[in-house]
Structure 1
Amino acid sequence: MSPTPVCLALLAVLVGVEAEHCDWQPVFRILPGVGGEKVRDVWTAGFTRDFGSDPLIYPAAHYKSPLVEEWETLGVQLVKVSLYTYRQGTEVRDLIFDGRDSDKLNWFSKERLISSPWTDLKTETTNLFSIPGEVANRDAPRSFYINRNYDGCPNDNGWLVVVESSGYCDWEKRDQRVPHILFSRKSTHVNWTTGGDDVGTADVMVVSIKTCGHVTESVDEHPLHHHDHHGNEGASIDA
């Protein structure tokens, strides 16, 4: 499936524009259906995919900034994971993490989570919360995985997953693209099998960083924004 014009326009903004002082700086982008290397392998490997000033030349690929490989030297303060969907207007769901003294893997953790679209994520148990995700079952590679529990495929519950295969469980087959991004549209976790429309599919997933100021960890706004909303971020940072 080709990226929509809206997706392509967004990519130009996300990747082709140099970040202003204390702005969010995109360093990674996941596109569904591009195949090739697994998302987690692109993130963890030493190579980068920097499209320079014109990301539209190579739109159908994951983007990885060279900054990812310099993570521990950047003074990262905050990290944001943004899920974009375009089916009924533009929606953005943000997860904000404390990036201080982190590396390119351990920032994505429950302990560092500041805010998310899900009210139960900080209090519920999780059996997986990591970028590598599911590594024990080679038939079911899943990355950027935030999962509540396994109990046989029909009883799997969670919040976010990048599905890296054609489907080990039936719930992974709701979208035939590899990879694809599933998330809970509820304010809590969702049953991946029986969730129906409460299981969302993101059109783009972006990881962004802030490397200036300091984290105040004040959360004044629910991190679900619509395209016409221009409020504060889910966590603030002082210059």
Structure 2
Amino acid sequence: MRSAAAVYLALLAVLVGVEAEHCDWQPVFRILPGVGGEKARDVWTAGFSKDFGSDPLLFPAAHFKSPPVEEWETLGVQLVKVSLYSYRQGTEVRELIFDGRDADKLSWFSKERLISSPWTDLRTETTNVFSIPGEVVNPEAPRSFYINRNYDGCPNDNGWLAVVEGGTVCAWEKRDKRVPHILFSRKSTYVNWTTGGDDVGTADVMVVSIKTCGHVTESVEEHPLHHRHHHEDETASIDA
């Protein structure tokens, strides 16, 4: 018998007009800047709250999480996608894809499981933080879904992605007054959070989606980002 979460995903596929054999992405989490309240990382790690519907871009202003997140290890997750959206551009502007097999709802977000990303140096550069909880040592600098290269005093902090949850330690955390806000490197490499200027982008929405069916390698190879970055790492296939 299928779990309640598996049934939920099947129903969601019907609601959004996706046939099961298409094995499409299912959105399960949405971070929206400026809503305040509970931190995005706490919404993700806590128990289920409520579903955000079939279109995470159109649902009312709040962070939302779907029931499957709390049954992650029963779903047979194959791939996980993190998407950043821009209202101004009306499209997905950045995405990362991870190997979700045999992972839990926290461990999939890691450098070791990264399959593709918009940053050519992310696989090869060192990282001092790469996790969903993010910066947990300093309570005055909460940053989640955080991919950072190094700390060396605030003006020398470099990284790729950060959900800034109201930090006050560094000036770069306050470049956008919304709490939270989503920062990312608009370059093809890491960016200096302080001096990056227009190379530091701000996303309007971040969505986590999962794939629970299909052949993993085929799914990755069919994805346009795989073709874009395949020359960087011939080991991109996660069947290796």
Question: For this structure pair, what is the TM-score category when the shorter chain's length is used for normalisation?
Answer: 0.7 to 0.9
| CA distance in 2: counterparts of 1:87 and 1:236, whole angstroms | 34
Q: What's 2:61 paired with?
A: 60
Question: Are 1:183 and 2:170 counterparts?
Answer: no
Counterpart of 2:62 in 1: which secondary structure? Answer: coil
Q: What's 1:8 paired with?
A: none
Counterpart of 1:218 in 2: which secondary structure? Answer: helix
Query: Unpaired runs of 5+ in structure 2?
Result: 1-11, 229-235
Structure 1 segments of 4 or more deviating over 4 A? 51-58
Indicate how the Cα distance of structure 1 residues 115 and 28 shifts in structure 2: closer, same or farther if over 3 A, else same.
same
Alignment of 1:207-218 (within 5 A): 207-216=208-217, 217-218=220-221
> Any idea what the Cα deviations from partners look like across 1:191-214, whole Å, max 9, x if unmatched?
000000000000000000000012
Indicate how the Cα distance of structure 1 residues 222 and 125 shifts in structure 2: closer, same or farther if over 3 A, else same.
same
Alignment of 1:1-239 (within 5 A): 17=16, 19-21=18-20, 22-52=23-53, 59-216=60-217, 217-218=220-221, 221-222=224-225
| CA distance in 2: counterparts of 1:166 and 1:158, whole angstroms | 16
Look up the equivalent residue of 2:151 and give its one-letter code: Y
Indicate how the Cα distance of structure 1 residues 51 and 145 shifts in structure 2: closer, same or farther if over 3 A, else same.
closer
Question: Taking structure 2 as the reference length, what is the TM-score of the superposition?
Answer: 0.82
| CA distance in 2: counterparts of 1:29 and 1:214, whole angstroms | 26
Percentage identity across aligned positions? 82
1:17 is displaced (CA, Å) by: 2.8
Tell me, yes or no, if the aligned pair for 1:140 and 1:168 is still in contact at 8 Å. Answer: yes
Counterpart of 1:28 in 2: which secondary structure? Answer: strand
Aligned length: 215
| CA distance in 2: counterparts of 1:120 and 1:25, whole angstroms | 28
Counterpart of 2:72 in 1: which secondary structure? Answer: helix
| CA distance in 2: counterparts of 1:54 and 1:92, whole angstroms | 17
Counterpart of 1:43 in 2: which secondary structure? Answer: helix
Indicate how the Cα distance of structure 1 residues 94 and 213 shifts in structure 2: closer, same or farther if over 3 A, else same.
same
Indicate how the Cα distance of structure 1 residues 18 and 70 shifts in structure 2: closer, same or farther if over 3 A, else same.
farther
| CA distance in 1: counterparts of 2:222 and 2:56, whole angstroms | 33
| CA distance in 1: counterparts of 2:24 and 2:158, whole angstroms | 34
| CA distance in 1: counterparts of 2:90 and 2:58, whole angstroms | 26
Indicate how the Cα distance of structure 1 residues 170 and 45 shifts in structure 2: closer, same or farther if over 3 A, else same.
same
1:166 is displaced (CA, Å) by: 4.8
| CA distance in 1: counterparts of 2:69 and 2:28, whole angstroms | 7
Question: Taking structure 1 as the reference length, what is the TM-score of the superposition?
Answer: 0.82
Indicate how the Cα distance of structure 1 residues 53 and 118 shifts in structure 2: closer, same or farther if over 3 A, else same.
closer
Higher helix share: 2
Tell me, yes or no, if the aligned pair for 2:30 and 2:56 is still in contact at 8 Å. Answer: no
1:168 is displaced (CA, Å) by: 2.0
Counterpart of 1:222 in 2: which secondary structure? Answer: helix
1:56 is displaced (CA, Å) by: 9.1
CA root-mean-square deviation: 2.7
| CA distance in 2: counterparts of 1:181 and 1:56, whole angstroms | 15
Indicate how the Cα distance of structure 1 residues 51 and 116 shifts in structure 2: closer, same or farther if over 3 A, else same.
closer
